[in-house]
Chains A and B, each alone.
Chain A
Amino acid sequence: MIHFERFKLDNGLTVLFHKDVTTPLAVVNTLYDVGARDESEEKTGFAHLFEHLMFGGSVNIPDFDAPLQRAGGESNAFTSNDITNYYNILPAKNLETALWLESDRMLSLGFTPKSLEVQRNVVIEEFKQRYLNQPYGDVWLKLRPLAYHVHPYKWATIGKVIKHIEDAKMEDVKAFFHKHYNPANAILCIAGNFELEYVKTVVNKWYGEIPRGIKPARILPVEPDQEELREEIIERNVPTDAFYYAFKMSERRNEMYYMADVLSDALGRDKSSRLYISLKKEQKLASEIGAYITGSLDNGLLVISGKLNDGVSFETFDKALWKELKKLEEHPISDKELARLMIKMHTSKEFQDQGLLNRAMNLCQFELLGDANGINEEHEIYKAIKPSHLQETAIHILKPTNCSILKVKATQNAE
């Protein structure tokens, strides 16, 4: 059980407090309800570029990192298609330093031209390092637009193309800030060995005077139901053929989400999973194979991916894979198999929950879903899943007309 308190400031900021008496550290985690899905199609990569600019100084403080480091702390952030999350870890007795810094950049940024110019370059190098200069690095740049035709999940958080980042202007940066960065669009979590009254006092002190903003309405194009098998083959200078089967699945707030999650575990989480045993160990078609879900807030993807053994054709693999998937539709999984998936899930949850930062981040994410207490309820939702649910989910999801396949063909294997 992860305990927390919740209060709201007059300006709309939601604050969560998680008390942990065992640690001398504090975490200040801020989730902004903005991600790559909120970008315009002509200016992609912006939420992420903006995350970099948040470290370039705020209205009253020229540098974000140095004062935090001077307080013995450190900070980082990440951007996904759904959210942008900033965190600070520091000695508990210097909590106010983190609040001072975080609240000031919520109030307003410095918007220095130098910061924009440099971070554009840094992000372009990040684009190259992670997406262009790695074998199979550009797979998600290709798979997203194959699986999504309308919804903004069709581009990656880094952006569609480098040009969008090169073209970012200061006026875009300011407009983005004013639209998305305000107390009403944020969830703050403070974790550490404090008293609630103290937390209320210091949060009010630093955040109380930030003007109330408007939580921007989110109206996104809805991805229509997929009705055909999609397939794209790309040739790359890589040593091995690779495959990505992406199946549409439900949004985060649906119970089907949890079922798809367990289904992906059954397919390919461990060395005891179905695809690993059948396609790798028994039939020797793949050298690597796994399954996972993207965890998106809107309709997400269940992905099966891996690499072919040398000499195995995509066609042979394809037949064998669909045959394996069909089994899940035809027969419910055994209670024993389900018990195995559940205990693995339980173990990983226990390990995740022991980190203070993880707890703070997850509380914010569940609060975004509607209630931070979801962190304590999730396990029961998983436990209520029956083999018949998984069978229904398999029938619903694991069908060719719901699937987008990306094949990466090694140049040397191409005809």
Chain B
Amino acid sequence: MLNRTLSPELKEIDKIDFVKPQIFDISKDVKLFFMKEVPNETARLDLYFDAGTINGDTGIASFVNGMLLSGTDEKTSTQINNEIDELGGFFESGVSNENAVVTMYSLRENVLPILKVMTDAIQNLVFHQHEVEELVNDRRQKFKTSMEKVSFLAQRAFQQRLFSESIYGRVTNESDFDTISTDSLKHFFKKNYLNGLTKVVVVGDLTQDEIDEIIDLIGSWASNTTTEFEKNIKNLKGYSHLVKDGAVQTAIRVGRMLFNKTHEDYNDFLILNTIFGDYFGSRLMSNIREDKGYTYGIGTMVAELHSVGYFIIATEVGKDVKDATLTEIQHEITRIQTELVGEEELNLVKNYLMGQLLKSADGPYSMTDLYMSVEPYGLDLDFYNTSIDSLNNITPERIQELAVKYLNWNDMTVVSAG
């Protein structure tokens, strides 16, 4: 008779195969990363540009990014989009603080034809006035809609207070949409795109000739400057609230400046982060969602920038339980600082994180992303072996030590909107 109360015997993950992409030089500082081992017809190409929000006045980076396919003297934006669609390509572009990334998904046989359309569009981009106006108008509408969301308002205020005086702390205001000039867009574009390519990633079963051709097509954009990134950023401690009339939920953000993968405490802190708030069974989820029912979800993460990082707790809760939630978050911080984590909970999290790492290394796309998330810090895939060592050696005492060191309520920036 089957005993259903007992778990089947658990087997440990004994090894994870990490596969490194091939690396080619585009220029002295700019490299192409190539993951060829794709067992199907799909391909992805990413172009990274030194064109993040910190590289220009507020709004500029995002506007230029939105205009990349907006037309040349020869072709309208519609013609360009039509040509890419006729080749079955999907084009995406986005901006973060420190980068802009242009991504193209397609069948492998269409990578080069699509890239040719794209490079022609970018190389000869003219910033037609009507296209600028249309984009500004669309972005203004989207911005106004975002400003109606408590999650956006809280995140925006959090960013301002977390990065305080630093360039990372600037946010878009509605007035930015009035002051954008085509000249400033052109200037940014020339500097940060046509001379701003910082890396290229190709995933797909392409030939060496095709890789060479890709390098020929985009090589002239290679950046030859190095951007300086701020290192000493201090968050404004303490609490602030933004009123949003009519909201039935309140968004909460709590966090502090921290480190990135280059710091010796990073791997161990990530285990603490998971226990505290980064999986379905975390302390915060168990208490605030699964015991109290205050929220649909609460989570924490360590976000990384080039030279620093930050820790953040994020949630949306019923408007009448905002204070109760903040109290419970503080309670959970105190608990993890004063009581040792039990063996059972720690083992569970260790196994869970090993499973997550196995998943992150599964398949060519995930594997490439895993590599690309250590590469900016001058690290190699060996970093993940140190993560595994960290999982094998972590102790309840070490978790407590890190909680005491990094999770003090008085060090936190606390923001709510609702």
Q: Which residues of A pack against B, CB within 8 Å?
A: 22-25, 59-61, 65-67, 69-75, 89-91, 93-94, 96-97, 99-100, 104, 107, 117-126, 128-130, 132-136, 205-206, 209, 237-240, 270-272, 277, 281, 284, 287-288, 307, 309-310, 336, 339-340, 343-344, 346-348, 350-351, 353-354, 356
Q: Known: A25-B359, A60-B4. Contact between A347 and B138, CB under 8 A? A: no
Residues of B within 8 A of A89 (CB): 359
User: A272 near B107 (CB under 8 angstroms)?
Assistant: no
Q: Nearest A residue to B250 by beta-carbon distance?
A: A133
User: A121 near B293 (CB under 8 angstroms)?
Assistant: yes
Would you give the shortest CB distance from B55 to chain A, in whole angstroms? 26
Residues of A within 8 A of B7 (CB): 67, 70-71, 97, 100
Would you give the shortest CB distance from B335 to chain A, in whole angstroms? 18
Interface centre among A59, A136, A344 (most CB of B within 10 A): A344
Pick the interface stretch among B140-148, B175-183, B234-242, B398-406.
B140-148
Q: A100-B4, A354-B363 are in contact. List 11 more A-B contacts (CB 8 A).
A: A67-B7, A70-B347, A72-B354, A97-B8, A121-B292, A123-B296, A125-B293, A134-B148, A238-B145, A272-B78, A272-B82
Interface centre among A96, A240, A343 (most CB of B within 10 A): A343
Bound: A346/B109 CA distance, A: 13
Would you give the shortest CB distance from A410 to chain B, in whole angstroms? 9
User: B352 near A74 (CB under 8 angstroms)?
Assistant: yes
User: A100 near B8 (CB under 8 angstroms)?
Assistant: yes
Q: Nearest A residue to B133 by beta-carbon distance?
A: A284
Residues of A within 8 A of B11 (CB): 91, 93-94
User: A128 near B249 (CB under 8 angstroms)?
Assistant: yes
Residues of B within 8 A of A72 (CB): 13, 351-352, 354-356, 358
**Which residues B256-299 have CB closer than 8 A to chain A?**
279-281, 289-296
For residue B149, CB closer than 8 A to chain A, the reply is yes
For residue B85, CB closer than 8 A to chain A, the reply is yes
Residues of A within 8 A of B342 (CB): none
**Which residues B5-24 have CB closer than 8 A to chain A?**
5, 7-8, 10-11, 13, 16
Q: Nearest A residue to B40 by beta-carbon distance?
A: A354
Indicate the size class of the contact surface on chain B: 35 or more
Would you give the shortest CB distance from B44 to chain A, in whole angstroms? 9
User: B39 near A22 (CB under 8 angstroms)?
Assistant: yes
For residue B362, CB closer than 8 A to chain A, the reply is yes
Bound: A104/B3 CA distance, A: 11
For residue B229, CB closer than 8 A to chain A, the reply is no
User: B134 near A97 (CB under 8 angstroms)?
Assistant: no
User: A205 near B362 (CB under 8 angstroms)?
Assistant: no
Interface centre among B5, B137, B359 (most CB of A within 10 A): B359
**Which residues B78-135 have CB closer than 8 A to chain A?**
78, 81-82, 84-90, 105-107, 134
Residues of A within 8 A of B8 (CB): 94, 96-97, 99-100
User: B86 near A240 (CB under 8 angstroms)?
Assistant: no
Bound: A146/B348 CA distance, A: 49
User: A343 near B42 (CB under 8 angstroms)?
Assistant: no
User: B4 near A70 (CB under 8 angstroms)?
Assistant: no
User: B248 near A271 (CB under 8 angstroms)?
Assistant: no
Would you give the shortest CB distance from B71 to chain A, in whole angstroms? 11
Bound: A202/B66 CA distance, A: 52
User: A347 near B355 (CB under 8 angstroms)?
Assistant: no
User: A353 near B40 (CB under 8 angstroms)?
Assistant: yes
Residues of A within 8 A of B13 (CB): 24, 72, 91, 93
Q: Specify which of B248, B279, B289 is in contact with A132 (CB 8 Å cutoff).
A: B248
User: A277 near B78 (CB under 8 angstroms)?
Assistant: yes
Residues of B within 8 A of A134 (CB): 148-149
Q: Specify which of B41, B88, B147, B281 is in contact with A66 (CB 8 Å cutoff).
A: B281
Q: Nearest B residue to A75 by beta-carbon distance?
A: B280
Interface centre among B39, B105, B138, B290 (most CB of A within 10 A): B290
